Chains A and B, each alone.
Chain A
């Protein structure tokens, strides 16, 4: 029984608002040059409108002939994507002006990418998963290469394009095989067929493996991680911030929807070994290579690889506490990463130069606010209390221990200790080294500083009152499994 059209439309109101706003911004860019300076603010207004719509409107469940499932989980992920988009747009305006590249397409593409991620968050059909994935990826290829006079930005765009399109082709071929094995593109049907014992059917096994491999590229987990450092370093910093949280979140939610129905951990030993292997390899390799990085953005790329390793542990252990740990991790990771990259944008002169740790020396007393926010986010990324990074890791490892994956928790804790070394190296440079003679004079920028401060306050507030976040995530998972 298809739902009525007004239910369908209201269910995707946030996506509709963002799409219309993106069209409007394009028109303003083309025909109203006087308003160009306000595009970033108009975009933020649209995001606020979309967030309001998501909070105020009901979540009806299955809509659009059963291809989208707008449930509590989708609403939660939508809000997290909108928060990341809001912070990205906030810092993007002054950032682009400082690098002489302000063009309205930036905001338009960012809005479209967010719509794609939100489609993925509620997609329960192979078709909507694929379309969401592409709507997320294609604008990001352009955003990576946004500084089109800069070779490293174009190189980042080229690499992300080739790797991203390659991953999409894998996902698509895997979907074709799953469709062939189950005669359906509906995730619920596919999951039911697999759970009923088709897991060892070669068509299903290969198809599922290809879909998971394609999503692993988006998550940048080992062995599909090699693109991340180059793309992180080459992309404009606000794009890096967006790229480091939104596609990963969307891909994790698709994995979660797949894993939740199948009870991955009990499906077959092969899957457990494969995913646990990916998680452990990502954590260990990410942290080890991050230790020797000299560029902060590359270091954060490897740190991101390690963090997705922790998140995969939560996906693997499954169950209500595993699933809610994934959500907690996503929110925590978003605030930490957005804050770190915004602070980095504040501390670096021009974006097309490397962001060396050496260049941050002595900035702790020179640019106090930026250094303080960066320090907060790095401590949180290292998983130290009282910041939200600790809450997230605690939730993940608690779920792992409760489900009998004690060894994964032990590996994770050991890796967290290891990771503290490279985060502390940056903090050491900030506060323990003298300011060099010829320190670059940076133009202060209120919006970027505000972005960094809001993100850092989020890190601190959610870290001090973790129950709010933990309860919200648990409530979301309870409501969808009920």
Chain B
């Protein structure tokens, strides 16, 4: 017989989302390759999605807040669409830059400075 399934505690999910957000933030600040920066941005957006999912999961378990669970879940779908739009624009920008300079290392784009 298998053991009874124990639901994952909500705080674990929230903690995971916070860790992912921190990883994404560090990635944007430390990585120099534009694609890596872009991946980190996506990690940040999706960590927020995970936080929404975690809270919705908790509200869904409480009877009085069950309607609130829906708000968070709907939010996630919109964020997915927005992230896709952002991906399109970001990647198009990187391709345009690569065509001009044959590199997407952000340290090489420093004509503008004070």
Contacts and interface: CB of A to CB of B under 8 A. Distances in A.
B101 A162 contact: no
Interface in B34-48: 34, 37, 41, 44-45, 47-48
Interface residues on B, range: 35 or more
A115 to B, nearest CB: 14
Contacts of B59: 183
B101 A179 contact: no
Contacts of A19: none
B93 A127 contact: no
B68 A161 contact: no
Contacts of A233: 112
B41 A166 contact: yes
A184 B68 contact: yes
A139 B11 CA distance: 37
B39 to A, nearest CB: 12
A428 interface: no
B93 A298 contact: no
Contacts of B24: 169
Given A154-B97, A165-B41, A177 B111 contact: no
B93 A180 contact: no
Given A127-B74, A289-B114, A154 B93 contact: yes
Interface stretch (A33-41, A130-138, A237-245, A332-340): A130-138
A156 B109 CA distance: 9
Interface string A150-172: 01101111110110011011001
Contacts of B90: 141, 161, 165
A138 B86 contact: yes
A162 B48 contact: no
B82 A145 contact: no
Contact of B111 (A145, A148, A155, A169): A155
Contact of A158 (B44, B58, B93, B114): B93
A410 B101 CA distance: 49
B112 A154 contact: no
B15 interface: no
B52 A179 contact: yes
Nearest to A145: B93
Contacts of A184: 68, 71
**Which of B17, B74, B86, B92 has the most chain A CB within a 10 Å cutoff?**
B86
B19 interface: no
Contact of A169 (B34, B44, B74): B44
Nearest to B50: A176
Q: How large is the interface on A (under 10, 10 to 19, 20 to 34, 35 or more residues)?
A: 35 or more
A357 to B, nearest CB: 14
B114 A293 contact: yes
Contact of A152 (B89, B96, B112): B112
Contacts of A152: 111-112
Nearest to A177: B51
B71 to A, nearest CB: 5
Contacts of A179: 52, 55, 71-72, 75
Contact of A230 (B48, B68, B74, B113): B113
B82 A130 contact: yes
Contacts of A162: 28, 37, 41, 106
Contact of B51 (A141, A180, A183): A180
Nearest to B114: A229
Given A152-B111, A230-B113, A131 B82 contact: yes
A41 B96 CA distance: 29
A185 B71 contact: yes
A169 B45 contact: yes
A156 to B, nearest CB: 7
A134 B51 contact: no
Interface in B48-105: 48-49, 51-52, 54-55, 58-59, 65, 68, 71-72, 74-75, 78-79, 82, 85-86, 89-90, 92-94, 96-97, 100-101
Contact of B65 (A183, A234, A293): A183
B109 A158 contact: yes
Interface in A108-147: 126-127, 130-131, 134, 138, 141-142, 145
A127 B86 contact: no
Contacts of B97: 154-155, 158
B112 A138 contact: no
A161 B89 contact: yes
B55 A138 contact: no
List 7 tightest A-B contacts by C-beta distance, closest first.
A169-B44, A176-B51, A180-B55, A230-B112, A183-B68, A172-B48, A173-B48
Interface of B: 14, 17, 21, 24-25, 28, 34, 37, 41, 44-45, 47-49, 51-52, 54-55, 58-59, 65, 68, 71-72, 74-75, 78-79, 82, 85-86, 89-90, 92-94, 96-97, 100-101, 106, 109, 111-114
Given A131-B78, A161-B93, A179-B75, 4 more contacts: A155-B111, A169-B45, A173-B48, A184-B68
